[in-house]
A and B are shown apart, each in its own frame.
Chain A
Amino acid sequence: MDLIRESEYRWEMKPSGAMRVPGRIYASAEMIDALREDESLKQVANVATLPGIVGASIAMPDMHWGYGFPIGGVAAFDPDEGVVSPGGVGYDINCGVRLLRSEATAAQVRDRMKDLVVSLFRNIPSGVGSARRDVRLNASQVRKVLEQGAAWAVSNGYGRGEDLDRIEAGGCIPGPDPDCVSARAIERGRTQLGTLGSGNHFGEIQRVAEIFDDEAAAALGLFPDQITVTLHSGSRGLGYQVCDDYLQVMLEAARTYGIHLPDKQLCCAPIKSKEAKRYLGAMAAAANFAFANRQMMTHWVRVTFEEVLGMGPADLGLDVVYDVCHNIAKFERHRVGGVEKTLCVHRKGATRAFAPGHPEVPAAYRAVGQPVLIPGDMGRYSYVLVGTEGAQRETWGSTCHGAGRRMSRAAASKSARGRPIVRELEDRGIIVRSEGRNTLAEEIPEAYKDVAEVVDVVHGAGIAKKVAKLVPMGVIKG
């Protein structure tokens, strides 16, 4: 694959074969060398062949070999000539990250960390088949969740009204259509609302270890040594089922509309088609389920801290800093060749990063840009960034989403075999609780790339700006 280095962190893949637009990859020279060893660059080229793609098939520095689209991919499509692809969103629709900021400092809670983690692990159902006994929804209640998103959770006692202003899209993607969500998807979601899930999903208690930008940190309410909490979860089985259902629909649609697919997982339909409209209605519904899911867990984080520390909500804070989606397709206004246009932007393992002044950035953050939340692995650190003009100009207002795996799950398990992972982390000052037998082994810190390198690339390329570094103190995993 021929790549031209356009600047220190930006590489261009010239169109070849059926590619309609170039590929553009944000990475360091070392990352590019590693990327050449798997199939992710080919996946960038495959996405560039899809009808109606605008500008470039973009990949972020945390990109890795996904299925169909690379993970870490961004692609925008013209609403008249373009397509929508469930594989360009992913199975975990609206997988995303939420950050809460407390008024407490690390020194205040350090001695209680074990109690906090144990209690958090009890209050937030984690892992396969877990659910809270007090959350039992029937199918008609699930439909309300799909229509209202995070607002459903707030009106049912989970959290505060002001939380909604600090969530991407206000915690409700427009246009949800529960009639486009299968009975199977609703059945899978019914028992999983308010659960963390397994794999790379987590809840983490952290401290602010470093501030890079005083003005932005102040706007986001972050200060040194402050306790924060990050939640990483998505739409659970409901989203997976929606994706699976519509991949079947789109395979048929691609045949109907004569769309050539270099990989079946890229199956798609013209945005104007009935198949695409139904998918977008179901996708919005699943995304809203994910917003409600993170909202409910936010409530349980607050309850946990209040119980364990014996402090009231006013003293604890635990306000929402922000909540971002990193698996989603959205209609947004962007400038194309100097003209503002509506595009359907697919972000699969990529985070929206709108610039200062953008009307969709909450008023409190409008001067500094939209908060961008980038989790790392459970042993090192995570980052808070803000969106930039550079992202607006070059990447449809998008940036990276995480560290990206370095080792396969099998390789990580092998490397962790016989090692006391919980104690290893405890020796580093991190209390961990996990449900699944294999999860901790598969999620060992060294299974991931160093997220600092990823963040340095997006910061250096100007498609996001570093604000703060968060270091884990307590982690729950599924």
Chain B
Amino acid sequence: MFPHTADVGLEIRAPDQETLFETAGEALCALLAEPGGIAAREERRIEATGGDREELMVRWLSEILYLHEAEGFLARRFRVTTIASDRLEGIVAGEPYDPGRHVILAQIKAVTYHQIRVAREQDGWSARVILDV
């Protein structure tokens, strides 16, 4: 996490693309709710398309955020099943929000395209995403 005067940013490093996207999902959800009490007992399928990997990253995270906002779905585990430069499929596992067991930490308005970066590094992949809170 890195600070931004209005928002919050994520910086992620991973050995491969799939892990990069999965870790980004995990980081987003750790800001939304305490991961501790969330059981990975229901699955949701996510499909995302975009002009490039950077847009794909925003779409993937926005889909996870939408599940949270619209269904109150708290995701705990993230798996990317197919990834190309303009298309991604994945499965997230978690459960609906239960006020008795779960702690919501913050509201996030959106995942922004501002200074979005997804890049291949010598030793893997890295990404930078800014969230509007």
Binding site for B on A (CB under 8 A): 38, 64-68, 71, 87, 91-92, 127-129, 184, 187-188, 197-199, 237, 240-241, 243-244, 247-248, 251-252, 255, 263-265, 267, 404-411, 436-438, 478
**What are 21 of the A-B contact pairs (CB < 8 Å)?**
A67-B113, A67-B114, A67-B132, A91-B109, A128-B106, A184-B66, A248-B50, A251-B51, A252-B51, A263-B115, A264-B55, A264-B113, A264-B114, A264-B116, A265-B114, A408-B3, A408-B5, A409-B7, A409-B8, A410-B8, A436-B104
With an 8 A cutoff between CB atoms, is B62 at the interface?
yes
Contact A436 B106, CB 8 Å, known A251-B51, A405-B6: yes
With an 8 A cutoff between CB atoms, is B4 at the interface?
yes
Docked pose: A64 CA to B8 CA in angstroms: 14
Find B104's partner among A67, A128, A267, A407 (CB 8 Å cutoff).
Answer: A128
Binding site for A on B (CB under 8 A): 1, 3-8, 50-51, 54-55, 59, 62, 66, 69-70, 72, 97, 103-107, 109-116, 130, 132-133
Asked whether, in the complex, the Cβ of B107 is within 8 Å of the Cβ of A65, the reply is: no
Contact A68 B51, CB 8 Å, known A188-B69, A199-B107, A437-B103: no
Docked pose: A72 CA to B112 CA in angstroms: 18
How far, in Å, is B15 (CB) from chain A's closest CB? 26
Main secondary structure of the interface of B (DSSP, over half): loop
Contact A438 B70, CB 8 Å, known A244-B62, A251-B55, A410-B3: no
Asked whether, in the complex, the Cβ of B5 is within 8 Å of the Cβ of A184, the reply is: no
Nearest opposing residue in chain B for A128, CB measure: B107
Asked whether, in the complex, the Cβ of A129 is within 8 Å of the Cβ of B104, the reply is: yes
Asked whether, in the complex, the Cβ of A67 is within 8 Å of the Cβ of B107, the reply is: no
Asked whether, in the complex, the Cβ of A198 is within 8 Å of the Cβ of B4, the reply is: no
Asked whether, in the complex, the Cβ of A436 is within 8 Å of the Cβ of B107, the reply is: yes
Q: Which residue of B62, B69, B72, B113 has the most chain A CB atoms within 10 A of its CB atom?
A: B113
Chain B positions within 8 Å of A66 at CB level: 6, 114
Q: Which residue of B1, B111, B115 has the most chain A CB atoms within 10 A of its CB atom?
A: B115
Asked whether, in the complex, the Cβ of B107 is within 8 Å of the Cβ of A197, the reply is: yes
Nearest opposing residue in chain B for A239, CB measure: B109
How many residue pairs between the two chains, A and B, have CB atoms under 8 Å in the bound complex?
Answer: 101
How far, in Å, is A119 (CB) from chain B's closest CB? 23
Docked pose: A248 CA to B8 CA in angstroms: 21
Docked pose: A71 CA to B55 CA in angstroms: 23
Chain A positions within 8 Å of B51 at CB level: 251-252, 255
Chain A positions within 8 Å of B6 at CB level: 64-67, 71, 405
Contact A129 B97, CB 8 Å, known A244-B110, A263-B115: yes
Chain A positions within 8 Å of B1 at CB level: 410
Chain B positions within 8 Å of A410 at CB level: 1, 3, 8
How far, in Å, is B28 (CB) from chain A's closest CB? 14
Chain A positions within 8 Å of B69 at CB level: 188, 237
Chain A positions within 8 Å of B114 at CB level: 66-68, 87, 263-265
Contact A408 B4, CB 8 Å, known A67-B132, A247-B113, A255-B51: yes
